[in-house]
């Protein structure tokens, strides 16, 4: 009687990850898609005002709509991430109690950074209001921006790592690294573009102030002789 060969999964790495699981790749696609979506949508809005026009030239409504979309996509991404981890192997070293507690601390720290940055920026500041022409009156320099320059992205990355450690899933660490890379790439586009928005706004404000000052001086020079003439006529 012939012995049938045991089928092995070439995409399964013991104690690391099962790359044959569809949920892993779905989570990876979601992680990559979200920043691409909001960067493309926001930059298109800045150049063409597509959302604002669709909503009757109401930029605040447009910002709220984009913000709601980003928020819901974030919830979906987190759900897909947790679903992916549920089908991944556990690593014995990561299952040690102190690793789990450390993961819990990372989750807590990450959420503090995310929530506090949202509180400091407000809804429009958090959800790309500057691309709709809704600019912050000043640069936020208090907590958590005095700790890290991009607390929302950094905090989100910490939370992902923390969840991976909490459940002792190395596959979660792989997805967390992917998330961090995606955020770094996104910042390469976001930071210069946002800086350019505020630079143009400052230049426009300065130009308007100069024009207003010149107009005021011209008006003053025009009315002064007339006032003098009236004074002379009264004196006569």
Binding residues: 108-110, 190-191
Q: Residue 1 gets which letter from DSSP?
A: -
Give the separation between CA 21 and CA 169, rounded to whole angstroms: 14
Binding residues for S-adenosyl-L-methionine: 108-110, 190-191
- The beta-strand segments (E) located in the chain are 12-13, 17-18
Q: Residue 217 gets which letter from DSSP?
A: H
Give the separation between CA 78 and CA 119, rounded to whole angstroms: 21
| Burial class, 1, CB count within 10 angstroms (exposed 0-12 / middle 13-18 / buried 19+) | exposed
Long-range contacts of residues 192-198, Cβ cutoff 8 Å, at least 24 apart: 193/43, 193/46, 194/130, 197/46, 197/130, 197/131, 197/135, 198/130, 198/135
């Amino acid at each position: 009687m012939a012995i049938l060969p045991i089928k092995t999964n070439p995409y399964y790495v013991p104690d690391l990850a099962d790359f044959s699981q569809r949920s892993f790749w779905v989570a990876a696609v979601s992680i990559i898609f979200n920043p691409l979506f909001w960067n493309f949508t926001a930059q298109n809005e800045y150049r063409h005002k597509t959302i604002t026009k669709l909503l009757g030239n109401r930029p605040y409504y447009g910002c709220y709509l984009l913000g709601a979309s980003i928020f819901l996509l974030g919830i979906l991404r987190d759900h897909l991430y947790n679903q992916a981890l549920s089908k991944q192997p556990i690593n014995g070293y990561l299952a040690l109690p102190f690793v789990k507690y450390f993961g819990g601390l990372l989750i807590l720290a990450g959420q503090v950074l995310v929530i506090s940055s949202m509180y400091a920026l407000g809804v429009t500041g958090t959800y790309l209001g500057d691309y709709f022409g809704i600019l912050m009156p000043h640069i936020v320099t208090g907590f958590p921006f005095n700790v890290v320059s991009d607390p929302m992205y950094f905090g989100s990355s910490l939370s992902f790592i923390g969840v991976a450690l909490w459940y002792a899933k190395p596959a979660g660490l792989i997805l967390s690294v992917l998330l961090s890379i995606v955020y770094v790439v996104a910042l390469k586009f976001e930071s210069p573009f946002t800086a350019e928005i505020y630079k143009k706004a400052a230049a426009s404000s300065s130009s308007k102030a100069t024009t207003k000052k010149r107009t005021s001086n011209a008006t003053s020079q025009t009315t002064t002789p007339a006032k003098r003439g009236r004074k002379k006529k009264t004196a006569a």
